[in-house]
Amino acid sequence: MSSGLEATSAEGPVEALAPPILTASGITKRFGGLIAVNDVSFDIPDQSIVSLIGPNGAGKTTFFNMLTGLIRPTSGQITLSGKNITRVRPDVITGRGVARTFQNIRLFGAMTALEKRLDRTARADARRDLRRGRPPAMGPRGGAGGPGEGP
């Protein structure tokens, strides 16, 4: 079954300016019968910012796990600054300057459902303030001492 990420390197003006610092060639990862990443080739030019996009389950995390050595590709090769890092340990890859952060989708165990809801509302309010060019308000809205309370 193939439901995974399939991509080729982007061709753009930035690639013409700088040679790739990181290259993934023909990367495939199989989990049993499921092909999570299917023959992906991806170049990251030096001095560039690139992104990898795709729907849920497309294979993005699996691909990043291979770039950073957390899992090994079934096939394909990854090079960093011209050196093969396909089977290099994650700590060694990190030492060469490639690191990742992890999605944290866990709930905060110490907060009640109401506190989580309030925190979410406060963040939405702060984003709205920033969109309107205002400094984000701190503290509860409309409550005692809050910015929603008029003089």
Ligand X SMILES: Nc1ncnc2c1ncn2[C@@H]1O[C@H](COP(=O)(O)OP(=O)(O)OP(=O)(O)O)[C@@H](O)[C@H]1O
Residues at the site binding ligand X, with contacts judged by CB under 6 A: 3-4, 31, 34, 36, 54, 56-62
Tell me the two tokens of residue 117: 């809801």
CA distances from 23 to 46, 92, 107, 112 (A): 11, 17, 36, 45
Q: How far is the CB of 106 from ligand X (least distance, A)?
A: 15
Nearer to Mg ion, 29 or 60 (CB): 60
Backbone angles phi, psi at 96, to 5 degrees: -90, 5
Nearer to ligand X, 31 or 81 (CB): 31
Q: Residue 34 touches which of Mg ion, ligand X, none (CB < 5 to 8 A by kind)?
A: ligand X
Q: How far is the CB of 69 from ligand X (least distance, A)?
A: 15
| 97 DSSP assignment | T
Interstrand relation of 83-84 and 34-45 (parallel, antiparallel or unpaired): unpaired
Alpha helices in the chain (DSSP H): 13-17, 60-67, 90-95, 113-131
Q: Residue 58 touches which of ligand X, Mg ion, none (CB < 5 to 8 A by kind)?
A: ligand X
Q: How far is the CB of 11 from Mg ion (least distance, A)?
A: 25
CA distances from 99 to 10, 43, 66, 144 (A): 22, 17, 11, 45
Footprint of Mg ion on 15-74 (CB under 5 A): 60-61
Q: Which residues pair with 2 in a beta bridge?
A: 35
Q: Residue 97 touches which of Mg ion, ligand X, none (CB < 5 to 8 A by kind)?
A: none
Q: Residue 36 touches which of ligand X, Mg ion, none (CB < 5 to 8 A by kind)?
A: ligand X
Binding site for Mg ion (CB under 5 A): 60-61
